[in-house]
A and B are shown apart, each in its own frame.
Chain A
């Protein structure tokens, strides 16, 4: 009799484990599908755009930068500093986990890391030269209601800037509205808020403003504004170290 009870228990345990694993896998698959859709809505496959980055200091003063950005595929981004004069001609390149900074006076690209910030303020290099989220993270649905999802994103490798992200997605248009970034230790690093959904033409409709703040940078606030986002095709060689000094030719 005891033997039978034990057998029933084992069968029940086995079936429930399978269904839990299936549910978890389904949840994971669906999370990744939503994440891919979020990426598609945020960034076209191949495009150019101008961005203004405003770093607001605790005393209220502002520092502004303008970048010309080109992107191809999921993991190729290059960026040229257009202003101010002190930064003009600098260029950065990101290929997957690799990042480089080209300074005209130095005359060669140097490797930089995703946690550094080449412009100061709250945005770091990974924020400014962000790849598709699905390239760097696996997603799982944490919560959902009628209006949206909350996704739990885990970094695929150790070279990713943030180990974990919590992402709020609007269900109506599968558009990201907010992201919280966490370190591997669980420390909360920053919040990114996606605002002002704008139609850029060419079928591109996405938030034109990203605001960020961080408990690690008390009193600081950074804002990134997108402009003139257009679909454009580029040869792969544009996204190479040799081309960094020539990025201005594309404008």
Chain B
């Protein structure tokens, strides 16, 4: 009897423990909510450049090179790796850039590296290095107060962002008049120069942008301020006039904007009030040809005579053969006068045509930047070929025209031709 009882007890516990363990072995597979994604591209580039030895820009850039050649070649590998992590309202974003030109250790440049928190569909916050692109212009952005400086010769090139704290509020309305409103505030701390870790809190820059979608017109109002720097106020708009025609414009007013001039071989600083502006359009015709046209006036840009004085200053520094003068001119060339739009008035025109003459996978385009003050210009035809998914070949030529003392006529190179192979992953 006792044995029977023991047997039942053992069987009971064995059964109970089995069912407990069997419960432990059952589990639900949690749904994968967090999403980590990587993508990017590799650009392999080779270029052939015809030098312009008479140009002071060439003379200064290649001053230390003993033998100055008529043609130079350039080989580069540009590698972009982007990463995104998203989990519910939280996100982390990274855009890195590596450039290989010769055998040496590569270190990444972080074009973007920031975290974001979306409190709701209306309110979001981000902290870190982030790219902003204010303005409606394709080649130029006078209201791009927080933008990285765009290169009008390649406006689509990926650029480095800025370290910032960014908060944005966005609201939609069911109205035929005001359809959407948003306000974004950006705080930009200065570069950490104190012990390479700290920056003066006094010099934090701020910028505000209000956006309105008003009667089918995009309108932005923006302002930027920083201690000891000019205050800027801007306005831009864009709208579609027809099913194939878009127009856009930007206007920026700056108070005490700095303008640098060369007078008697000395660089002087002037303060100037006034406006920079841009007028543009994008038009598609029945043959599928797209035209982008933009006129840009740069308030702090140099006039024809001012540019000639600057070129003369570089020429004279070079002719002096004095290393101190040459280094100083070289430094000014790459800092004070490094802007891609150094002068006052430019016209940008771009025509592009996909699959011309029924050439499958090809597209052609040509753009010109015309300096209205000194009548110098750049012409750049481009041929693109995309035979396979995620692969592209680009053949790209740059031709510079103008007299020796003009902006495009005085470039280091007379002609450039580049071939790019681009792989996406």
Residues of A whose CB lies within 8 Å of any CB of B are: 57-59, 63-64, 84-86, 88-89, 95-99, 103-108, 110-117, 120, 126, 158-161, 183, 235-243, 246, 248-249
Contacts and interface: CB of A to CB of B under 8 A. Distances in A.
12 contacts: A58-B358, A85-B424, A98-B240, A107-B133, A111-B218, A114-B243, A116-B244, A117-B288, A238-B121, A240-B170, A242-B211, A248-B35
B26 interface: no
Interface string B176-215: 0001101010000000000000000000000000010100
B86 A249 contact: yes
Given A97-B216, A115-B284, A237-B121, A120 B354 contact: yes
Nearest to A116: B284
B172 interface: yes
Contacts of B218: 98, 111, 241
A107 B131 contact: yes
Contact of A115 (B84, B239, B244): B244
Contacts of B216: 96-98
Given A236-B172, A237-B170, 13 more contacts: A57-B361, A95-B180, A99-B240, A105-B156, A107-B133, A115-B244, A159-B243, A237-B121, A237-B171, A240-B180, A248-B84, A249-B86, A249-B118
Contacts, number: 125
Contacts of B156: 103, 105-106
B418 interface: no
Contact of B360 (A59, A99, A235): A59
Interface in B285-342: 286, 288, 290
Contacts of A96: 216
A117 B243 CA distance: 12
B158 interface: yes
Contacts of A108: 132-135
Q: Which 6 A-B pairs have the closest CB atoms?
A: A236-B172, A108-B133, A86-B424, A107-B133, A237-B121, A85-B424
B390 A112 contact: no
B170 A63 contact: no
Interface of B: 35, 39, 41, 82, 84, 86, 91, 118, 121-122, 124, 131-136, 138, 156-158, 168, 170-174, 179-180, 182, 184, 211, 213, 216, 218, 238-246, 248, 282, 284, 286, 288, 290, 354-355, 358, 360-361, 389-390, 392, 424-425
A161 B239 CA distance: 16
B121 A113 contact: no
Contact of A113 (B211, B282, B354, B390): B282
A237 B135 CA distance: 21
A218 B373 CA distance: 46
Nearest to A125: B243
Contacts of B282: 111, 113
Nearest to B89: A249
Contact of A243 (B136, B170, B248): B170
B39 A85 contact: yes
A103 B155 CA distance: 12
Nearest to A61: B360
Contacts of A161: 243
Nearest to A63: B389
B242 A113 contact: yes
Contacts of A111: 136, 218, 238-240, 246, 248, 282
A159 B216 CA distance: 11
A106 to B, nearest CB: 6
A85 B170 contact: no
Nearest to A242: B170
A47 B82 CA distance: 30
